[in-house]
Amino acid sequence: MDRTSETSRTAGPDRPGAPARAAGHDEPAIGTARRKRRRVVLPLVLVAAVGGAAALGATRPWDRGSSAPGQPALGHGTVAVERGSLSSGIQVAGALAYDASTPVVASGRGTFTALPAVGSVVKAGGRLYEVDGLPVVLMTGERPLWRDLGPGVEDGPDVRQLKRNLVALGHADGLGLAVDEKYTAGTAVAVKRWQKALGVKQTGKVAFGSVVMVPQRAVRVDEVGVRLGAPVGAAEALTVSGTDLVAVVQPAENQLSRFKPDGKVEVRLAEGGTVQGRIRSLIRGGGGDGGADSGGGRQKTVVTVVLDDQRAARRAGPSSVTVDVVGDTATDALVVPVTALLALDGGGYGVNVVTGTTTRLVKVRLGLVADARAQITGDVKSGDRVVIPT
């Protein structure tokens, strides 16, 4: 007899010694004939399609009357084999936020005499705030200025940053100014041009505290942490961010392997619609509660996704989003719950297909497994009913 298509018949009322079936009971009897092997539901670790990974452990061997002494018999039900699509992608809740939040420390001495409005955008070369009636200007750079700059100053990377900005802002046009660490006479000329454009005294020198360096070429003011009239004293005056919105998520540990640097994702907006994105960074220790999650103090990983369509993102504004990480997909597939799968003694898996009042064990091949469902192929068709434990 073919092991892949085997019929187990239930004792009926016309057979001697068989118990009578209950009146009105029209469910098919579920295989009672015992074989030398027991069929065990396969333990599977599943990747859930919604909300992250899920796992199913091993269940007890099932066969009518096979429960352990003193335990209730395990019940059974049936479910139809479905034809449809299956995906191993995951979905993680996150948020749209302005990129790269950065505190701005006010250096030098004096009194705050003008402050920006929250939500205002300042570009490189623009006035960020004012001290003692003089503008403090935004420039682009990775390190803050730490000294006065002018002719005769020692060479340094802060000079290089200043010269790079003077060139980018057009104040060094025609001077042939080299972007290096030397404060040359040409540098002083470019500084005077910049000071003239600002409407301040043209000294050719840059006073400590008159420039704020940030990595971005333009920033959005997120928060103002000082008041007008407050003294400057190494205070965190402002918090600024980039002007672009990014999607930020904190996946669970068992989801991190699905997030690859430069990997493509789809971001579903709360107001409807989707935006394509790319994973820019995965940074450990960005948990909202002191950088630690609830799992024994382990720090979460923050994933930042840059978006292809800023116009759509700005229409949504800071809001909740769902980030879809696309995995493998099977279309036009026969799909059953994983609880319908049986591990066979000789290897492989099978399902019990209901035929009238009997069941037959059909060996199947597994395809994609996701969201507690499995793709199968074999002597099974859509609409067939297979046995599952209940």
CB 251 within 8 A of CB 92: yes
Are 109 and 215 within one domain? yes
Q: CA 136, CA 139: separation in Å to the nearest integer? A: 10
Are 207 and 299 within one domain? no
Q: CA 131, CA 207: separation in Å to the nearest integer? A: 12
- Enclosing domain of residue 217: 102-241
* Alpha helix segments (H runs only) across 38-184: 157-168
Are 145 and 228 within one domain? yes
Predicted local confidence at residue 327, as pLDDT: 81
What would the two tokens of residue 32 be?
Answer: 């009672």
Predicted local confidence at residue 76, as pLDDT: 87
Query: Could you tell me how far CA 99 lies from the centroid of its own chain?
Result: 15
Model confidence over 308-321: pLDDT tens digits? 999 999 999 999 99
Predicted local confidence at residue 75, as pLDDT: 80
Q: Which of 241, 259, 279 is the last residue of a domain?
A: 241
Give phi and psi for 340, each to the nearest 5. Answer: -80, -10
Are 208 and 262 within one domain? no
Residue 163 sits in a domain of what CATH number?
1.10.101.10
Model confidence over 59-118: pLDDT tens digits? 333 343 334 444 444 588 999 999 999 888 899 999 999 999 999 999 999 999 999 999
Predicted local confidence at residue 28, as pLDDT: 44
Are 113 and 232 within one domain? yes
What would the two tokens of residue 84 be?
Answer: 């449809």
Are 188 and 253 within one domain? no
Contacts of 81 (CB under 8 A, 6+ apart): 334, 335, 336, 376, 380, 381, 382, 383, 384, 385, 386
Regions of the chain where pLDDT drops below 70: 1-74, 286-298
Are 200 and 294 within one domain? no
Predicted local confidence at residue 11, as pLDDT: 36
Please tell me whether the overall predicted TM-score, pTM, comes out greater than 0.85 for this model: no
Predicted local confidence at residue 3, as pLDDT: 40
Counted domains in the chain: 3
Are 307 and 355 within one domain? no
Residue 275 sits in a domain of what CATH number?
2.40.30.170
Q: Which of 183, 216, 241 is the last residue of a domain?
A: 241
Q: Which of 212, 241, 270 is the last residue of a domain?
A: 241
Predicted local confidence at residue 183, as pLDDT: 98
Per DSSP, 238 falls in state E
Hey, what amino acid is at 172?
A: A
Closest CA to 165 of 131, 185, 142, 184: 142
